[in-house]
Amino acid sequence: MKRWLLFWACMVCLLLLLLACGRSTSGYTPQTRTFTMVTVPLLVKESATMFGFLKQDFAQGGVLANKEVYMFSPDHLTVYQGDTIQLTIVNPENDAHTFTLPPFNVNVPLAPQAITRVHFVAHKVGVFTFFCTIPTHMPFMVGQLTVLPDAQAVPSD
């Protein structure tokens, strides 16, 4: 009789433990976070005709030879673990780009003069770099996604 009682007590404890492991204790309910981002040209080879001092920089052997400086704006996003990110990326100019965020399996082309939408779940905590994979835009066109632990979030009602 004592063995059966001990067995069932262990089973109830195990069941409670399994139920607790699958749930967040923070009280936070993941949200859908909507962001709009724009690709922004900062220093591109066409600028050299307007700003003469850039001709040397874009020339062969210059500090910007075979490069163009673009950025994502905003270049930093902050969410909580478990949030769904809905990102609208506007590329208003004539050059193609990509939005690449390997830890979340995101790699989307950004066509010229187009709007691209992408969504994913921020399931990992940490600081992650997103970037454009176009060789002439690297290493300048980068940004960061910060995913905070859901325990740091204000509890949802």
pLDDT at 143: 97
Query: Do residues 156 and 27 make contact, with C-beta atoms less than 8 angstroms apart?
Result: yes
Q: What is the pTM of this model?
A: 0.75
Boundaries of every domain in the chain: 32-40+66-152
Question: Which has more pLDDT, 119 or 14?
Answer: 119
The domain defined by 32-40+66-152 folds into Immunoglobulin-like (2.60.40)
**Backbone torsion region of residue 61, taken as left when φ is above 0, otherwise alpha when ψ lies between -120 and 50, otherwise beta:** left
pLDDT at 19: 42
Query: Do residues 149 and 81 make contact, with C-beta atoms less than 8 angstroms apart?
Result: yes
Query: Do residues 131 and 97 make contact, with C-beta atoms less than 8 angstroms apart?
Result: no
The pLDDT tens digits for 77-91 are 999 999 999 999 999
**φ and ψ of 141, to 5 deg:** -90, 80
Give residue 138's pLDDT band: very low, low, confident or very high (50, 70, 90).
confident
pLDDT at 29: 92
The pLDDT tens digits for 79-128 are 999 999 999 999 998 899 999 999 999 999 999 999 999 999 999 999 99
Between CA 77 and CA 120 the distance in angstroms is: 13
**φ and ψ of 13, to 5 deg:** -60, -45
Helices and strands of the chain, counted as H and E runs: 3, 9
Mean pLDDT of all residues in the chain?
A: 84
Beta bridge partners of 129: 144
